[in-house]
Amino acid sequence: MTNPAGRRVTANLSLSLDGRYHGPGGPSDFGAFAPYVITEVARNHMNRIWEGATTALLGRINAEGFMGFWPSVAADENADPRDRGYAKWLVDTEKVVLSTTLTEAPWERTRVVNAPAADVVTDLRTTGAGDILVNSSPSVIKPLLSADLLDRLYLMICPEITGGGQRLFDDGLPASKWILTHQETGELGEIAMVYDRVR
């Protein structure tokens, strides 16, 4: 499917029932999400997010965490094949990391850009082919929601209320309409959903 504005921009994130992407303990508080991210539904969902993507767009903190973890999974022959597939994709694909502090890329096939997310995505849309996946990076997803530049949302809803932590959908976002194009519910009550922007 061709996007009139160029490449499709997608984003994935796990959220609690109260719409938060981490708990009250701060960005490293993922206790409410941990039981759900290794389920069958979650692993199938992870396979779905990267299948059409050729560029991973990341914030610096996520890039550091991901590149410290996933390369070892890519090399692990005993890892779940879905985890390994994602890991190999992440290692091998083009990565664009948004950062105001990094001056050079510490990973292969990576370039560091110090610019607003909306500007970077607008540029990426005009070059190459394949989806641009904003990979679990709320610091990038939020400004793209504000600029109405996301075409697809991959959301994992975990059946817990954290009662604190940062929310994905802030007040003041431009109104937008989305259509549910995929939904899968797991045994623990987690729901994987794919929403496409209606333009």
pLDDT tens digits for range 68-98:
999 999 999 999 999 999 999 999 999 999 9
Work out the pLDDT band at 4, boundaries 50, 70, 90. low
| More confident of the two residues 5 and 172 | 172
Structure tokens at 153: 């949302």
Q: How far apart are alpha carbons 177 and 12 in whole angstroms?
A: 18
Residue 14 reports pLDDT greater than 70: yes
| More confident of the two residues 145 and 6 | 145
Taking residues 46-72, report their average pLDDT.
93
Note whether 70 and 90 are within 8 A (CB): yes
Q: Mind listing the pLDDT tens digit for each residue in 22-35? A: 999 998 899 999 99
Q: Give the H or E element holding residue 50.
A: helix 40-50
Query: What local confidence, expressed as pLDDT, does residue 128 receive?
Result: 87
Mean pLDDT for the chain overall:
94
CB 72: neighbour CB atoms within 10 A?
A: 10
Q: Which domains does the chain have, with CATH numbers?
A: 9-198 (3.40.430.10)
Q: What is the DSSP string of 62-98?
A: HHHHHHHHHHHHHH-TTS-HHHHHHHHHHHHSEEEEE
- pTM, two decimals, is 0.93
